[in-house]
Chain A
Amino acid sequence: QVELQQSGPGLVKASQTLSLSCAISGDSVSGNSVTWNWIRQSPSRGLEWLGRTYYRSKWFYDYAVSVKSRITFDPDTSMNQFSLHLNSVTPEDTAIYYCVRVGPRGSGSFDIWGQGTMVTVSS
């Protein structure tokens, strides 16, 4: 079965870069019928979709407007994983971060979730 394993620091200083990785087992980061997403959750913002990356003969990236100027996703086919990099963080970026798959079904539903990483931004 498909599993996502997240890794990365739980504490980041303000103005620095938050980086998390998501290792995929049971599927391929370059699969042509899936997308790979990052979602965060906080009491103030609820569940917030940050963006996605996917491969359709080339890599595509869609980012939420709220973070577009600060975020990049980095798929790595050799490691079969994808990473999130969010720069210039502030305490408002404190949240639980999830990597999530949209499966091949075509409904756009988030069917596989990583375990979540609680990230605290210290001021």
Chain B
Amino acid sequence: DIQMTQSPSSLSASVGDRVTITCRASQSVSTYLNWYQQKPGKAPKLLIYAASSLQSGVPSRFSGSGSGTDFTLSISSLQPEDFATYFCHQSYSTPFTFGPGTKVHIK
């Protein structure tokens, strides 16, 4: 199975800050890497697919980059509605696996 790790596990930031979250795969997943946002009591929501493509309806302050084993999710200017938990997910091979999540707190 491909193991996914994320760093940091949590972070505190202020509105307007630039935030970067890192995801690493235990082996290459090419660009089969996706990012999700989850708010309490809700299902995860797709933000970025194929490492860097923005899902329809997602604000352009979200961006993704990377390929192979190392990936990044960036939020250019954090908004109040962005405080949530973010997960990466590899869709390269079954079993599909997720990172443990990064919780973004209000500073």
Residue contact A108 to B96, C-beta cutoff 8 Å: yes
Residue contact B43 to A49, C-beta cutoff 8 Å: no
Expressed in whole angstroms, the Cα–Cα distance for A111 and B44 within the complex equals 9
A116 at the interface (CB under 8 A from B): yes
Expressed in whole angstroms, the Cα–Cα distance for A65 and B45 within the complex equals 26
Residue contact A111 to B92, C-beta cutoff 8 Å: no
Expressed in whole angstroms, the Cα–Cα distance for A113 and B101 within the complex equals 18
Q: How many residues of B contact A (CB 8 A)?
A: 23
Q: With A47-B87, A102-B91 in contact, is A109–B98 under 8 Å at CB?
A: no
Q: With A47-B44, A109-B49, A110-B46 in contact, is A62–B34 under 8 Å at CB?
A: no
B50 at the interface (CB under 8 A from A): yes
A10 at the interface (CB under 8 A from B): no
A105 at the interface (CB under 8 A from B): yes
Nearest residue (CB) in B for A96 is B43
Name the interface residues of A58-84: CB closer than 8 Å to any CB of B: 62, 64-65
B32 at the interface (CB under 8 A from A): yes
Expressed in whole angstroms, the Cα–Cα distance for A62 and B55 within the complex equals 26
Binding site for B on A (CB under 8 A): 37, 46-49, 52, 62, 64-65, 98, 102, 105, 107-111, 113-116
